[in-house]
Structure 1
């Protein structure tokens, strides 16, 4: 007699055990989004940074919207899903017409290979600057979202608070949109 199983509602996800095994063998694809508020001419007025507790160090760090791309999921859908997951359903992100990232970031488990470090894995992230127009209410594991002027976001103190070397990515993002002070 065969048993009937309920289909997995998220077939693109790996179990925790399978994810750990996969992370130890292959790079994992992520999307990262840096939320911004822009004026009527498209100039960046504020940058949104999430405050989270680090699972690896237990410290409080600033970070971006970030998440894996699931098997069978488009980059656009993954970016939108992770923006909604981290910023809430009323953030109203304005995804670009082209999904080409402003940079590709590579995180290594061993420190010093690149400025970006993730002790859990070798990861590749497609990084986007995404204007949001709605109300943002952090969800999931984010404690708060702080809106900073580009000048404040680019301060050495704030850049040092960014997890895994993301301060270098934030400077690249601000330069990309013409907002690096």
Structure 2
């Protein structure tokens, strides 16, 4: 079981009040990772989605996500959030050259991007990350569900994503050549 809690008790270089003020004035930088399982040829066979409940008790689908801290590399942030959200034995396989499959722009109100985060304006680098180990989802996740790409794109699952994130799953699958 991971010792890192979500939300992280050490929010980085800012205390909660300063973070709130920064979020009101500056875009925040995030990384997001869509964990996948691949076959021997490298084709995506499953997508790992976290199932969480929000503060009102509404159930939602999401994936690994978190802020890049001051003086932290994107690679370091990805590994930190993958371990925090999937557990230390997930064994994520980051490529030598990190290339995001998408750059997501979140706004506090609906916008042309279709992505919302009521806390802030955020720019997120989105990655598809193969994992080979055992995943033990974070404490605030009810479960980690492995779905086929077709299941992840179903209307039922797409309706469970928060803030437009279902579109990022579509982009990620297109990026890895699924559905050609």
* TM-score, with length taken from structure 1: 0.90
Give the unaligned 5+ runs of structure 1.
1-9
Instruction: Tell me the matched-pair count.
Output: 172
Counterpart residue number, 1:44? 44
Counterpart residue number, 2:69? 70
The answer to whether the Cα contact below 8 Å between 1:115 and 1:165 also exists between their aligned partners in 2 is: yes
Determine if the alignment matches structure 1 residue 28 to structure 2 residue 28: yes
Note the 1:13-162 alignment, pairs <5 A. Answer: 13-55=13-55, 57-162=56-161
Q: What RMSD, in angstroms, separates the aligned Cα atoms of the two structures?
A: 1.6
The answer to whether the Cα contact below 8 Å between 1:171 and 1:180 also exists between their aligned partners in 2 is: no
In structure 2, distance between residues paired with 1:85 and 1:104: 22
Q: Cα deviations across residues 49-70 of structure 1 (Å, max 9, x unaligned)? A: 0011224x54110001000000
In structure 1, distance between residues paired with 2:11 and 2:135: 29
Change beyond 3 A, Cα 1:69–1:39: same
In structure 1, distance between residues paired with 2:54 and 2:163: 10
Counterpart residue number, 1:166? 165
SS of residue paired to 1:164? coil
Counterpart residue number, 2:6? none
The answer to whether the Cα contact below 8 Å between 1:85 and 1:140 also exists between their aligned partners in 2 is: no
Change beyond 3 A, Cα 1:121–1:28: same
Q: What is the Cα deviation at residue 11 of structure 1?
A: 8.5
In terms of Rg, which structure is larger?
Answer: 1
Give the unaligned 5+ runs of structure 2.
1-9
Q: Cα deviations across residues 50-108 of structure 1 (Å, max 9, x unaligned)? A: 011224x5411000100000001000000000000000000000001112211100000
* TM-score, with length taken from structure 2: 0.91
Q: What is the Cα deviation at residue 113 of structure 1?
A: 3.5
